[in-house]
Amino acid sequence: MASLCLNSFPVPPSSLPRKPTETSLSSSSYPSLLVDNNDNNYNHSALKPIVVSGDPPTFVSAPGRRILAVGDLHGDIKQARSALEMAGVLSSDGQDLWTGGENVLVQLGDILDRGEDEIAILSLLRSLDKQAKANGGAVFQVNGNHETMNVEGDFRYVDSGGFDECNDFLEYINSSEDDWEQTFTSWVDVSERWKEDRTMSKSYWGTWNLLKRQKGVIARSVLFRPGGPLARELARHSVVLKVNDWLFCHGGLLPHHVAYGLERMNKEVSEWMRGLHENDNAPKMPFIATRGYDSVVWNRLYSRDAPDLVDYQAKQVSSILDETLQAVGAKSMVVGHTPQTTGVNCKYNCSIWRIDVGMSSGVLNSRPEVLEIIDNQARVIRCKRDRHSELQAAAYT
């Protein structure tokens, strides 16, 4: 897919020391060919391995890598594939092959709700992660508010097809003789066939759909409840992730989140999703990360562009953002959560990038856009046919 890449901004290097408890994703180095959608080639040879700290991942050192960030997907696998192909990390032949070499892909959460292929997208990303690691690259996800809502049992925004997919997937894993990883990663290959079979059966069964819907709700509860198969899958991912000098989270990080501890938040959310707090007196849900308007997954402070936002309020927001970035040793933050009708953009001297463009057909059905970071420069990859031809933003200082 042809694309137009706009606006590059240099980012000063960071001197933040690495964190302990590091795990290498790759013990060997491979030459990589990093290709964008303007046919620009980036050759890196003998790259150092990607090093991950924290479980789930919190700090990542990925020297020399091209970093691609993709925003909210909300159950739309067609748009998800378009975005990944545009980023140059997914084959366009329908084989769902990793083509990103040693690139690093970060997805900003809200894969769930408002669409009918949520599990298929999760399966696709897990498959790509496995392939990426074999090539010296990596795929990371951060959980958003819709992931935490579903683990909590809040299904208000689930598409009817989403319930159907849960019912199909539960039946699929119960009948599979393979291990979990093989079963889960293969779902993206067979989900379309299951959907077609289900659609055909609807024309014959009529009122049977009511019972099937009830089964879908029960299936979703089994899959996403704390300790459930898909809740445990989500528990592999963070709510905040730092890759090199770049901070990634769904809603937005604030100073009190940093003071609480990034690894601590990630660990507590992961343990809650895995169901480790069900039989003790610990809080069932890490409130600071997952609940409330100022939690990591719900915060919209950096994404507001209300016309009545007066100058002193904007300065306050900028000051809070600067304090947060300095506290964690980052140069910029990348967030999703709030659809940007003007496309991917940055604000506050490009200390914050907002990359949720509402691409899902269940949201705005807008054309996909991707944030690309190469050698401390950020730019937007978007389709040439996109009506948004310019991105107004200030360069870093």
Partners of 372 in beta bridges? 68, 379
Dihedral, 261, 262, 264, 266 alpha carbons, nearest 10: 160
Catalytically annotated residues: 146
Beta-sheet strand order (sheet of 138-141): 4-10, 377-382, 369-374, 67-70, 104-107, 138-141
Look up tokens 């319930």; give the residue.
163
> Any idea which residue has 């031809």 for tokens?
389
Q: How would you class 329 by CB atoms within 10 Å of its CB: exposed for 0-12, middle for 13-18, buried for 19 or more?
A: middle
Residue 52 contacts by C-beta under 8 Å, 6 or more apart in sequence?
22, 23, 24, 25, 59, 60, 138
Question: What angle separates helix 118-134 from helix 160-175, to the nearest 10 degrees?
Answer: 60
Residue holding tokens 């491979």? 30
Give the rounded distance of the alpha carbon of 167 from its chain centre. Answer: 24
